[in-house]
Structure 1
Amino acid sequence: MQTEILSYEADGLQMRSHLYVGDSSSVRRPGVLVFPEAFGLGDHAKSRAERLAAIGYVALACDLHGEGIVHDDLEAVMGLIAPLQKDPARTRARAGGGLETLLARPEVDPARVAAIGYCFGGTMALELARGGGEIAAAIGFHSGLATAAPEDAKNIRGKVLVCIGADDPGIDAAQRVAFEEEMRAGKVDWQMTLYGGVVHSFTNPDAGRLGRPDFARYDARTDARSWDEMLRLFDETFATAS
């Protein structure tokens, strides 16, 4: 496994993202951006990027807050995220910096690039797509679905998959319905998978650290199921693009 820290500027911040490449083959491979939960680029997103690299993808685990900073206070983090939610251009700028950096890598086939994300990272993947980012797929795990610019769904070039806990207090039925309407209006190739009895952060084994099991709770079965859904979409999407 080859790893490298890549630095680049995005939204006025100096980002420090982690690149994972499984081997030294000269053959160009599909690339995947991995956007982290709202706290920043921690072990969860890095481990997912490393896992993707181990099965043949070039994965970039992307910084969120600049300088590789990871926060541990939920209230403080929500204060940092709120301005980004109100201004999608800033979210897209941070995501777009990662995309430009990944596309510039000689190991990556630029026609076969996707973005995935967890929690706010899922929002980043979706906003990158709404902004017309050159990605073949955008996948969100327990991701926020709302946007301040739903009309931009018409700019989405690739496929969209969102994997959501049916009982996630932060992503209620009204938000899901609005997302469906947005995707239909934009004529997007989209899918939404709901998992019964599942709440937020179901992919993160450390979700229990929040001490709020009714809000955030790891679910191993749903973690595995949603990962498999992502891989199936990758197989479908990248086969078409190759």
Structure 2
Amino acid sequence: MASDTSTPKHASPAGAGGDDGDLLVLDDVQAGYGRAAMVLRGLTIRVPASTVVCLVGPNGAGKSTVLKVASGLLKPASGKILVGGKDVTGQGPQQMLGSGLAHVLQGHSVFREMTVQENVMLGAYSLRDKAQIAERVAFVQNLFPIVGERWKQLAGLLSGGQQKQVEFARSLMVSPKVVLLDEPSMGLDPKTTTKVFEQVVRMRDAGVAVLLVEQNARRALETADIGCVLDLGRVHITGPAPELLADPQLSELYLGGRPGEVKADA
């Protein structure tokens, strides 16, 4: 298996590459939950425009911590966070949202006793221009047709996959540069999971960059453009997702089986 200093030929060392097209950069970040509990140890990740980047790795590698740092829920001990080239290190969640980062949290965050419209409009609370709000509503309804079709219905009447689309729509109301997705398939059956990942691709194709953490690593890499393998709080390997999927060593250690093998319950 490749190490930090010896990676497969297709892979790039952590932080390699990157240019003016990077919408989100975590540069040499250290972060954790107290001085003695550093989870991220000099981590560098780049998210280019109109790209899905997924983070995979064992439990405890720091995947969800990356999203917390990027969204401002957890301040880094050191390192920088750049959004669209602007240094936003140390900003809180509200400021990060204003800088162009939207965070769809793990689990279901739809308010079941509210309508789809009311849920989506929560994402527009900071907007004042009625024309802008109308434009964003039209955008999300076009991107996620079920949102428009069920606009006046109670969100609790929707299926789990449909509720996830409502969450996605809400996150897009403020025109974010990057959407952070934490375990979007959690609690969903395989068929619904497939549909959810199709919606992730639709977001990317609409010009939104996505940083994805997902329990189903193989399915995430099948959806993503770029994969980053995290281990012990660092990016161990990063490269094109199809190439990472095809690597037998990575598949054995991190994906639970042979390259191309998708389990029936995946």
* TM-score above 0.5: no
Q: TM-score, normalised by structure 2?
A: 0.31
Higher relative contact order structure (alpha carbons within 8 Å, sequence separation ≥ 6):
2
